[in-house]
Amino acid sequence: MVPLDGVMAGPSKTTLDRLIAARLADEADREAIDDGIRKRFEETWAVAFTDLVGFSRRTTEFGIIHFLSVIYRKGLLLKPVIEAHSGLLLKEEADSWLIIFRDPIQALETMIVCQRTCEAFNQGQPEEDQVQLCVGLGYGPMLKIGDEDIWGEEVNFASKLGEDIARRGEILLTHAAAEAVAGRVDGVSLERGTDSAGSLDLEFLRARYDL
C-alpha cells in the first residue's frame, strides 16, 4: 500500500465486496464475517461534510456553468487549507466534499479556518459569486474503504448536518464529535440545537466562534 498524505490506504472495496458476498451465502457465519470486516476496515476518524449554500436557487438564477465556477473557486480557496492541516479530501460530489482527519480537534480547527477563508473572500463579492460554506462534523469508528470512501453512522449524521441543516458560516457537530472537542479549542463554545431532515429529528451541537 502507498501512503497518501501520510495516510495508509486501507483494504479495497474489492475485498469488502468479497466479504459481503460470503456473508450472503447460505449458512454463512455472519458474526465471524462481520468481525473480520471490522478488523480489516474499521478505523476511528473525524469526518467533515461540507456543502455550499443555495445550490438549487443559484443554479436556477445564474445557470449551472456559473455555479460550477463557484465550486471551482471553493477548491482554489480550501484545498490548500485542508492539505496544510493534514486533512484527506476523500470524495467530491458536485458542491459537497467528504473530508477526514485523524484528530477531531484538528478537524474543527481546520473547518473554522475554511469558514474564515470563505468569508474573507466573500467580502466585496456579489452574492452570486460568494463561496458560502456550511459544515457537518462527526467522529467515531467507521469503515474506511481504501482512499475512496468511508461509511458509518457518524458519516451519515455529518452529511445530514452539513447538507440539510447547517447554514452559511455554521459548523454543526454530532454528539460524539462535540464530546471529543468540548473545551479543547480556544475561542469556541458549543450550543445545543435541534432540527429536522426529512422525517428525522436531529439533535446536534453548534460551534460558536468568531467568524
DSSP assignment, residue 188?
-
Give residue 10's pLDDT.
Answer: 63
Averaged pLDDT for residues 76-96: 96
Averaged pLDDT for residues 58-82: 93
Averaged pLDDT for residues 112-128: 96
Residue 2's pLDDT band (boundaries 50, 70, 90)? very low
Residue 6's pLDDT band (boundaries 50, 70, 90)? very low
Q: Which residue has the higher pLDDT, 37 or 56?
A: 37
Cα dihedral 53, 59, 62, 66 sign: positive
Q: Which residue has the higher pLDDT, 58 or 178?
A: 178
Neighbours of 50 (CB within 10 A): 28
Give the chain's domains with CATH numbers.
43-208 (3.30.70.1230)
Q: Which residue has the higher pLDDT, 119 or 64?
A: 119
DSSP assignment, residue 126?
-
Dist. CA 172–CA 177, nearest whole Å: 9
Cα dihedral 122, 123, 127, 133 sign: positive
Highest mean pLDDT pick, 7-21, 47-61, 62-76 = 62-76
Residue 149's pLDDT band (boundaries 50, 70, 90)? very high
Q: Is the pLDDT reported for residue 4 higher than 70?
A: no
Give residue 59's pLDDT.
Answer: 81
Cell numbers found for residue 59: 443554479
Instruction: Give the orientation angle of helix 64-84 with respect to helix 104-122, to 10 degrees.
Output: 130
Report pTM.
0.90
Q: For the chain, what is the mean pLDDT?
A: 92
Give residue 57's pLDDT.
Answer: 80
Averaged pLDDT for residues 153-174: 97
